[in-house]
């Protein structure tokens, strides 16, 4: 009997080792996913997409201003909960002088599928800046893919010359970063 138990024990250990390696590989992939998209210090990739009226808006059109690229959607509860913070920050800093740009604005990139829901959310949340874009392709949004967006809300803070200064700033962290950047 003991002869058969040892091989089974060894096979069991080997199986657990493979499971453990698979788990660790999964953890490594998770950290890689979090690192997707452009990195801090790199140039922000161009975003070119239409606003709700069909007008083409480019990130490069905002050159000279500090820009918060805000990936969000009408159906995203955490995004909608963060919107009042983004609005308050926009109002406070839209005319501010920064070391890296003059003025602050938001480029809202929606991952919505339904244009009416998107427009309604802009109105309901009082997103008063005029740089709202979407291709209405949900998670297949071209800008979201370019920026490696895996979850929303997702933000990138971009300097007046187009350099990514920070990622994932929300609430007071965004306001603190902008405050430190003021002239």
Q: Do both 52 and 22 map to the same domain? A: no
28/107: higher pLDDT: 107
Q: Has residue 80 been placed in a domain?
A: yes
Cα angle 102, 105, 108 (rounded to 5 degrees) comes to 155
Q: Do both 2 and 82 map to the same domain? A: no
Q: Do both 102 and 24 map to the same domain? A: no
94/31: higher pLDDT: 94
- Number of domain units in the chain: 2
Domain that holds residue 121: 48-181
Q: Do both 114 and 27 map to the same domain? A: no
Percentage of the chain beyond pLDDT 70 is 81
Instruction: Report the alpha-carbon distance of residue 78 to residue 152 in Å, rounded.
Output: 8
CB burial of 79-113 (b: ≥16 within 10 Å; e: otherwise) equals bbebbeebbebbeebeebebebbebbbbbbbbbbb
Our CA dihedral for 73, 75, 81, 87, rounded to 10 degrees, sits at 40
Q: Do both 18 and 96 map to the same domain? A: no
Arithmetic mean of pLDDT, 24-41: 56
Q: Do both 59 and 140 map to the same domain? A: yes
| 159 closest CA partner among 57, 68, 88 | 68
Q: Do both 87 and 6 map to the same domain? A: no
CATH code of the domain covering residue 150: 3.40.30.10
Query: Which tens digits make up the pLDDT trace of 35-84?
Result: 578 999 999 999 999 999 999 999 999 999 999 999 999 999 999 999 99
Q: Do both 7 and 76 map to the same domain? A: no
Cα angle 75, 43, 108 (rounded to 5 degrees) comes to 20
Q: Do both 115 and 57 map to the same domain? A: yes
Arithmetic mean of pLDDT, 141-153: 97
The answer to whether the beta carbons of residues 133 and 159 sit under 8 Å apart is: no
Q: Do both 17 and 66 map to the same domain? A: no
Q: Has residue 93 been placed in a domain?
A: yes
Give the lowest-confidence range in 17-26, 92-101, 168-177.
17-26
Q: Has residue 103 been placed in a domain?
A: yes
Cα angle 19, 22, 27 (rounded to 5 degrees) comes to 130
- pTM (2 d.p.): 0.81
């Amino acid at each position: 009997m003991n002869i058969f138990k040892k091989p089974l024990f060894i096979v069991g250990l080997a199986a657990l080792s493979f499971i453990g390696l698979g788990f660790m590989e999964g953890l490594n992939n998770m950290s890689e996913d979090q690192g997707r998209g452009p990195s801090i210090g790199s140039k922000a990739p161009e975003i070119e997409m239409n606003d709700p009226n069909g007008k083409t808006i480019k990130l490069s059109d905002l050159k000279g201003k500090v820009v918060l690229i805000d990936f969000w959607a009408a159906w995203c509860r955490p995004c909608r909960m963060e919107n009042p913070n983004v609005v308050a920050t926009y109002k406070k800093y839209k005319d501010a002088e920064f070391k890296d740009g003059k003025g602050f604005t938001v480029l809202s990139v929606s991952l919505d599928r339904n244009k009416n829901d998107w427009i309604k959310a802009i109105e309901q949340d009082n997103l008063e800046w005029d740089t709202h874009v979407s291709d209405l392709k949900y998670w297949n949004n071209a800008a979201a893919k370019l920026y490696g967006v895996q979850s929303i809300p997702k933000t990138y803070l971009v300097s007046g010359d187009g350099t990514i200064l920070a990622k994932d700033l929300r609430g007071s962290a965004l306001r603190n970063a902008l405050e430190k950047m003021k002239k």
